[in-house]
A = this chain, B = another copy of it.
């Protein structure tokens, strides 16, 4: 079962807690630390411009990305919790 995100949205699988603990990159929060990196597993065709054109995304499937703690909406696909967010919510790509 596959999902095609619309426009400038991407579907992200969050990184597991353990894979981040050793020298990983995490966004901290005064309250508590929570995973905020993941891998893009599906991406839209691009952002709709005000003139009706489309701009291709700067991220692609497979990119490891950083995003804010409250970015996106949770989506459960085949029992797995994923995140649907906009490219705008992605702060950077881990290379």
Interface residues in chain A, defined as those with a beta carbon under 8 Å from any beta carbon in chain B: 1-7, 9, 11, 23-28, 33, 42, 44-45, 47-55, 58-59, 66, 68, 73-79, 81, 84, 87, 90-95
A2 to B25, CA, bound (A): 9
* In contact, B93 and A6 (Cβ under 8 angstroms): yes
Residue of A1, A4, A9, A59 with most partner-chain B CB within 10 A:
A4
* In contact, A91 and B6 (Cβ under 8 angstroms): yes
Chain B residues near A77 (CB-CB < 8 A) = 25
Chain B residues near A59 (CB-CB < 8 A) = 6
Please name 11 further chain A to chain B contacts, defined as beta carbons within 8 Å, in addition to the given A1-B24, A42-B92, sorted by A numbering: A1-B25, A6-B59, A6-B90, A6-B93, A26-B75, A27-B73, A28-B76, A44-B92, A48-B55, A50-B50, A73-B91
